[in-house]
């Protein structure tokens, strides 16, 4: 349909001007030809009529008495010529086509007046007597000394009748020429349409992204130039698109690899682009949010308000906000405007940095410094105070009492420092201070812990039971694992009721070894359970110091488990006792963890708080 319309359009545009020119030219030629032919025929008629009048003059002058016979005989030989003999007064003496007695006086006819004046006159006019347009030639003669006017006339349509064949010939030639022209134009337009259609298809392919298109080499004339232009466009656009694709891929790769979130939006607040980091920071479920308003992304209202304010203020801005909708996540936002080639702002880009972890570490660093200072200040203050009392005290009994206090606090201070050094060694990123790993039998490990803790358990009438029937093994450091399990058993002894039972058990589950320590103590509430493995965290501050705890035992347990690629967990409830479980990989390739230890409540850059 489109092709036929194009062909008709080409035929109309190309053929119409040619046809109009040909018609106008033919009309002009026909008019000139007809005019020349009519003028030629008219002069021929006038010459013929003039000769007739001259011959009649000779005949009539040679035999004046036979004028009637002469006129009749002459008229019979030339029926198309009307002859009229007029007297000097203008009265018609004889007429070949009408009764002369009934004809009016012709003295006022233009040709008669002209003949009287100049001897001969020619006139073409409408004849009232005949009712037709006539050409008249009047000649003044004398017959027998009397003046007469001999007039010969002929109808003008006889000349026009001779012109009609010429006109019809011109019409036929014009029609034939128009037919040939239209056929030629149709052929040319069809050929041009075929080439134009191919170029149109090529242009559509280029518009659709097919830059491998090249035009046909046999295009005629200006179409060949158009084809070469399309080829250059395809080549240039293809190269430009390839460069843009490379740049876009590089930019996309950078955005996707960034840990910093990036959101680009236009001036109306519609999202242009969101990288995965931004989706992760803002917890966006949908990945394809392009074109959607920022308000419909179900993100925190503070972020939306910040984006709106900086967009209205020119795009520049910076702020740190807390996202209440995401459990208090803290992010730092910086914004910059997006400009087009004319340096007009067309949008805004938001750069999001999740600083929640950083802020937590900063708070933990502050807490750690405060806790360490507090934990060290107590024994140091006690040592300093009792040392001063020793200087002034003379009573040996009191001096011995003061010395025991100093020794006890020095021991506690040494224990705190030793535990801190243990944590530091466990957090060593290179693992250079960690003991060598070996294949350990679980029952031997538990038996060693029982032997080490038996005296303290006996002091409180607490029974230590071991449940490990299977020949279980793991790959790890005997020293560290005994320390971890011993810390759990010592806590169970110290914080459990006297005359109770502490159970040590081990079992395997797939590629994991589980070592559990269960006590019959008072249990732990939920709020304390969440902080149980933090450094220096104590449920009962006074009781902990009373039994000689440093507040770092459970933190050491956790980091020993992490150093072996495992974990530690607790199941507890108030009044139901507690079960601490250390989970370790049995395979040596998973068991050895010398990477920088990072747990759920802190990182190695920031030491953890523990019980």
pLDDT tens, residue by residue, 182-235: 777 777 777 777 777 777 777 777 777 777 777 777 676 667 777 777 778 777
User: Whose CA is closest to 71, among 418, 190, 63?
Assistant: 63
User: Whose CA is closest to 386, among 417, 407, 372, 414?
Assistant: 407
Give the end of a domain, one of 203, 236, 256.
256
Instruction: Report helix angle 478-495 to 442-459, nearest 10.
Output: 30
pLDDT band at 287 (very low <50, low <70, confident <90, very high): low
Mean pLDDT throughout 283-304? Answer: 76
User: Does residue 341 share a domain with residue 237?
Assistant: no
The predicted pLDDT at position 514 comes to 92
Q: Does residue 200 sit within a domain?
A: no
User: Does residue 113 share a domain with residue 72?
Assistant: yes
Give the end of a domain, one of 382, 401, 426.
426
Quote the domain boundaries for residue 234. 215-256
Answer yes or no: are the C-beta atoms of 499 and 445 closer than 8 Å.
no
Q: Quick check: helix, strand or coil at residue 129?
A: coil
User: Does residue 446 share a domain with residue 579?
Assistant: yes
Which of 66-80, 192-206, 293-307, 486-500 is modeled with the greatest confidence?
A: 486-500
The predicted pLDDT at position 303 comes to 83
Question: What total number of domains does the chain contain?
Answer: 5
Element (H, E) at 413: helix 396-426
User: Does residue 150 share a domain with residue 6?
Assistant: yes
The predicted pLDDT at position 590 comes to 43
Mean pLDDT throughout 110-133? Answer: 82
The predicted pLDDT at position 427 comes to 63
User: Whose CA is closest to 555, among 611, 477, 499, 486?
Assistant: 611
How wide is the angle at C-alpha 156 spanned by C-alphas 151 and 158, nearest 5°?
110
- What DSSP designation does 564 have? T
Of 105-119, 191-205, 239-253, 389-403, give the lowest mean pLDDT range: 191-205
Q: Which residue has the higher pLDDT, 4 or 573?
A: 573
| Helix ranges (DSSP H) in 427-477 | 442-459
Kindly tell me the burial class for residue 111, based on how many C-beta atoms sit within 10 Å of its own C-beta (0-12, 13-18, 19 or more). Answer: buried
Dist CA 1 CA 18 (whole Å): 26
Dist CA 43 CA 374 (whole Å): 143
Give the end of a domain, one of 161, 186, 204.
161
Mean pLDDT throughout 579-603? Answer: 58
Q: Does residue 219 sit within a domain?
A: yes
Contacts of 123 (CB under 8 A, 6+ apart): 109, 110, 111, 114, 135, 136, 138
pLDDT of 611 > 60? The answer is no
pLDDT of 347 > 90? The answer is no
Q: What percent of the chain has pLDDT over 90?
A: 6
User: Does residue 225 share a domain with residue 151?
Assistant: no
Dist CA 292 CA 59 (whole Å): 116
pLDDT of 503 > 90? The answer is yes
User: Whose CA is closest to 493, among 412, 552, 549, 411?
Assistant: 549
Strand ranges for 342-413 from DSSP E:
345-354
pLDDT of 610 > 50? The answer is no
Q: Compute and round to an integer the Cα radius of gyration of the chain.
A: 63
Question: What's 589's domain CATH number?
Answer: 3.30.565.10
Contacts of 304 (CB under 8 A, 6+ apart): 294, 295
Contacts 24+ apart (CB under 8 A), 311-314: 311/265, 311/267, 311/269, 311/348, 314/345
The predicted pLDDT at position 1 comes to 45
What are 283's two structure tokens?
């917890």
Q: Does residue 450 sit within a domain?
A: yes
Question: What's 386's domain CATH number?
Answer: 1.10.287.130
Q: Does residue 380 sit within a domain?
A: yes
Mean pLDDT throughout 456-484? Answer: 87
Q: Does residue 491 sit within a domain?
A: yes
pLDDT band at 517 (very low <50, low <70, confident <90, very high): very high
- What is the average pLDDT score of the chain? 77
Mean pLDDT throughout 413-418? Answer: 72
Of 211-225, 442-456, 496-510, give the lowest mean pLDDT range: 211-225
Question: What's 10's domain CATH number?
Answer: 3.30.450.20
The CB-side HSE value for 8 (13 A sphere, CA atoms) comes to: 5
pLDDT band at 464 (very low <50, low <70, confident <90, very high): very high
pLDDT of 249 > 70? The answer is yes
The predicted pLDDT at position 491 comes to 87
The predicted pLDDT at position 438 comes to 84
User: Does residue 347 share a domain with residue 363?
Assistant: no
CA distances from 234 to 197, 200, 245, 246 (A): 17, 13, 16, 18
User: Does residue 113 share a domain with residue 53?
Assistant: yes
The predicted pLDDT at position 435 comes to 64
Answer yes or no: are the C-beta atoms of 53 and 122 closer than 8 Å.
no
What are 521's two structure tokens?
């103590």
Mean pLDDT throughout 30-34? Answer: 77
What dihedral do alpha carbons 73, 79, 81, 85 form, nearest 10°? 40
User: Does residue 287 share a domain with residue 403?
Assistant: no
Sign, CA dihedral 533-433-421-491, equals positive
- Could you read off the pLDDT of 50-80 as tens digits, one per residue? 887 888 777 777 777 777 777 777 777 777 7
User: Does residue 387 share a domain with residue 445?
Assistant: no
Q: Does residue 433 sit within a domain?
A: no
Answer yes or no: are the C-beta atoms of 309 and 319 closer than 8 Å.
no
Claim: this prediction has a pTM higher than 0.85: no
- Could you read off the pLDDT of 137-187 as tens digits, one per residue? 888 888 777 888 888 888 766 656 666 777 777 778 878 877 887 777 777
The predicted pLDDT at position 378 comes to 67
User: Does residue 340 share a domain with residue 282?
Assistant: yes
Element (H, E) at 603: strand 602-603
The predicted pLDDT at position 265 comes to 84
The predicted pLDDT at position 11 comes to 57
Q: Does residue 208 sit within a domain?
A: no
Dist CA 42 CA 159 (whole Å): 7
The predicted pLDDT at position 296 comes to 77
Dist CA 551 CA 557 (whole Å): 12
Q: Does residue 171 sit within a domain?
A: no
The predicted pLDDT at position 158 comes to 60
User: Does residue 404 share a domain with residue 393?
Assistant: yes
| Helix ranges (DSSP H) in 63-109 | 67-77
How wide is the angle at C-alpha 567 spanned by C-alphas 565 and 571, nearest 5°?
165
What are 196's two structure tokens?
């134009």
User: Does residue 240 share a domain with residue 98?
Assistant: no
CA distances from 585 to 120, 250, 265, 443, 510 (A): 145, 41, 48, 16, 9
Q: Quick check: helix, strand or coil at residue 601?
A: coil
């Amino acid at each position: 349909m489109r092709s036929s319309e194009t062909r008709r359009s080409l035929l109309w545009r190309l053929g119409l001007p040619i046809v109009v020119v040909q018609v106008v030219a033919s009309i002009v030629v026909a008019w000139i030809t007809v005019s020349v032919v009519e003028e030629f025929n008219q002069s021929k008629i006038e010459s013929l009529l003039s000769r007739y009048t001259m011959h009649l003059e000779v005949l009539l002058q040679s035999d004046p008495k036979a004028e009637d016979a002469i006129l009749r005989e002459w008229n019979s030989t030339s029926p198309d010529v009307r002859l009229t003999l007029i007297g000097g007064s203008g009265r018609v003496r004889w007429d070949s086509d009408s009764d002369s007695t009934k004809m009016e006086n012709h003295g006022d006819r233009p040709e008669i007046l002209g003949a009287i004046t100049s001897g001969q006159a020619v006139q073409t006019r409408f004849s009232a007597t005949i009712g037709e347009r006539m050409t008249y030639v009047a000649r003044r003669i004398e017959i027998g000394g009397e003046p007469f006017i001999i007039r010969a006339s002929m109808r003008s349509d006889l000349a026009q009748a001779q012109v009609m064949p010429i006109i019809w010939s011109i019409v036929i030639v014009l029609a034939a020429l128009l037919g040939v022209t239209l056929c030629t134009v149709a052929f040319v337009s069809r050929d041009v349409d075929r080439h134009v259609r191919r170029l149109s298809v090529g242009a559509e392919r280029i518009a659709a992204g097919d830059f491998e298109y090249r035009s046909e080499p046999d295009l005629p004339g200006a179409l060949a130039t158009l084809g070469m232009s399309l080829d250059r466009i395809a080549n240039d656009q293809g190269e430009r698109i390839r460069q843009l694709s490379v740049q876009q891929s590089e930019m996309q790769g950078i955005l996707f690899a960034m840990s910093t979130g990036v959101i680009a939006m236009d001036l109306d607040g519609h999202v242009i682009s969101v990288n995965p980091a931004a989706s992760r920071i803002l917890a966006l479920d949908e990945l394809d949010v392009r074109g959607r308003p920022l308000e419909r992304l179900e993100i925190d209202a503070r972020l939306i308000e910040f984006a709106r304010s900086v967009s209205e203020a020119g795009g520049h801005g910076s702020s740190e906000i807390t996202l209440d909708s995401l459990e208090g996540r803290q992010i730092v936002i910086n914004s910059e405007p997006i400009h087009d080639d004319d340096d007009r702002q067309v949008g805004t880009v938001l750069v999001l940095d999740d600083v929640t972890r950083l802020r937590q570490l900063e708070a933990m660093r502050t807490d750690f410094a405060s806790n360490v200072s507090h934990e060290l200040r107590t024994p140091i203050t006690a040592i300093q105070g009792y040392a001063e009392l020793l200087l002034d005290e003379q009573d040996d009994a009191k001096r011995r009492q003061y010395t025991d206090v100093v020794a006890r606090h020095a021991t506690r201070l040494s224990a705190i420092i030793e535990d801190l050094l243990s944590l530091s060694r466990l957090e060593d990123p290179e693992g250079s201070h960690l003991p060598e790993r070996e294949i350990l039998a679980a029952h031997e490990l538990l038996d060693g812990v029982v032997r080490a803790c038996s005296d303290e358990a006996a002091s409180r009438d607490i029974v230590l039971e071991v449940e490990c029937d299977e020949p279980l093994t793991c790959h790890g450091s005997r020293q560290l694992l005994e320390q971890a399990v011993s810390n759990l058993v010592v806590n169970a002894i110290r914080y459990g009721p006297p005359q109770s039972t502490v159970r040590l058990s081990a079992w395997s589950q797939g590629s994991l070894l589980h070592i559990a320590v269960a006590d019959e103590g008072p249990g732990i509430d939920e709020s304390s359970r969440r902080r149980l493995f933090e450094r220096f965290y104590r449920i009962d501050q006074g009781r902990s110091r009373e039994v000689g705890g440093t507040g770092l035992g459970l933190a050491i347990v956790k980091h020993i488990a992490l150093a072996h690629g495992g974990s530690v967990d607790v199941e507890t409830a108030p009044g139901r006792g507690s079960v601490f479980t250390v989970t370790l990989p049995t395979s040596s390739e998973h068991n050895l963890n010398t990477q920088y230890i990072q747990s759920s409540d802190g990182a190695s850059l920031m030491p953890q708080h523990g019980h």
